[in-house]
Chains A and B, each alone.
Chain A
Amino acid sequence: MRKQTLQHAFYKSIPVCAGYLVLGIGFGILMRNAGFGVLWTAAMSLFIYAGSLQYVGVSLLAGGASVLTTALTSLMVNARHLFYSISMIGTYKDAGKWKPYLIFALTDETYSLLCDGSVPPGDDPSLYRFLVSFFDHCYWVTGSILGSLLGAVLPFSTAGIEFSMTALFAASFTEQWLTARDHAPAVTGLLCTLLCLVVAGPDRFLIPSMVLITVVLTLLRRREGGQS
């Protein structure tokens, strides 16, 4: 029965495998290019385990950002995880000993695999969800380590690979734009950030941008008449 659960969880996680390996490799190469070796890379993928934040984190580490900037950036970049967790409160209610890890490992991709709550018949739901989460985590760590090692030995220059981070966010922005009916939040994000970039300059605009975005979105909500 356990072997069957292992199999089901593995099949379920396959779609995430390719994505995590490729994005992980990109992250590992970026870290290598920024001067951080395989242990730093592995530590980030093991303990942070959040793709977008780790990509931003490379430049935070390389630029020697302050603890406050790092904490606020983490808060804003990963705020969406609050809402994944909110929607999984019911699903993970009876997960017992697996629960802490399930919560820790709730990434965008794992959420997308598990959010419908379905479990193959005959499998222990918590064990199944643990294994799916664990496989995804393994792909991410493996990809990162591969990237870090590859980055040191690749026979061609990886100059420009850092654009994969821009591409990651541009693709995500486009996808959200295509699926959203209301484009005000996306436009708010772009305009507030551009304004702060012009006013505060490229080294100090991140925190003002996050504050301004939150304020403007809160004001927009008031105008909507407090609808959620």
Chain B
Amino acid sequence: MSAALLIAVMSVVTILLRALPFLIFRKETPAYITYLGRVLPPAIIGMLVIYCLKDVSLTARPFGVPELLSVACVAGMQAWKRNSLVSILVGTVVYMLLIRLVF
């Protein structure tokens, strides 16, 4: 079962990531690792935003407009309320309405 194999891989890698520092950095953490810990999260999240939008076509109708508007809506809500749950809910509802009613 390849799905079971992939789930096992995700599980094992995640457990290793969580456990490794407890096993190896008992005393001191290398500066390079600390640096990556600081800069990787925003970069990877940016990558994941694009990953989610990878199949949006800019050359065929509706030219990615529903996605663009909904992402702008999420960013706007987040800047306004600073509550991720609200931003996600509002953005998703806006998207679901847009693809039904407008595009």
**B11-48 with Cβ < 8 A to chain A:** 11, 13-15, 17-22, 25-26, 29, 31-48
List of A residues within 8 angstroms of B10 by Cβ: 44, 48, 50, 53-54, 57, 60, 70, 74
Cβ–Cβ contact A185 & B43, under 8 A: yes
Q: Which of B4, B50, B79 has the most CB of A within 10 A?
A: B50
**CB-defined interface of A40-58 with B at 8 Å, one 1/0 digit per residue?**
1001100111101110110
Inter-chain residue pair count (beta carbon < 8 A): 259
Residues on A close to B: CB < 8 A?
18-19, 22-23, 26, 36, 40, 43-44, 47-50, 52-54, 56-57, 60-61, 64-65, 67, 70-71, 74-86, 89, 92, 99, 103-104, 106, 159-161, 163-178, 180, 184-190, 192-194, 197, 202, 205-206, 209-210, 213-214, 217-218, 220-221, 226-228
Cβ–Cβ contact A175 & B14, under 8 A: no
Interface residues contributed by chain B, number (CB under 8 Å): 67
Task: Return A145 CB to nearest CB of chain B, in Å.
Answer: 16
List of A residues within 8 angstroms of B4 by Cβ: 43
- A22–B89 Cα gap in the complex (Å)? 9
Determine which of A26, A44, A57, A89 lies in contact with B21 in the assembled complex, contact meaning CB atoms within 8 Å.
A89
List of B residues within 8 angstroms of A99 by Cβ: 22
List of A residues within 8 angstroms of B17 by Cβ: 74-75, 78-79, 81-82, 85
Cβ–Cβ contact A170 & B6, under 8 A: no
Determine which of B79, B89, B91 lies in contact with A178 in the assembled complex, contact meaning CB atoms within 8 Å.
B79
List of A residues within 8 angstroms of B36 by Cβ: 79, 214, 217
Contact (A74, B46) CB under 8 Å given A89-B25, A167-B92: no
Cβ–Cβ contact A49 & B50, under 8 A: no
- A227–B39 Cα gap in the complex (Å)? 12
List the A residue with the shortest CB-CB distance to B53: A166
9 inter-chain pairs at a CB distance below 8 angstroms, sorted by A residue, are: A74-B14, A77-B44, A104-B15, A167-B91, A178-B79, A178-B82, A188-B46, A206-B47, A217-B40
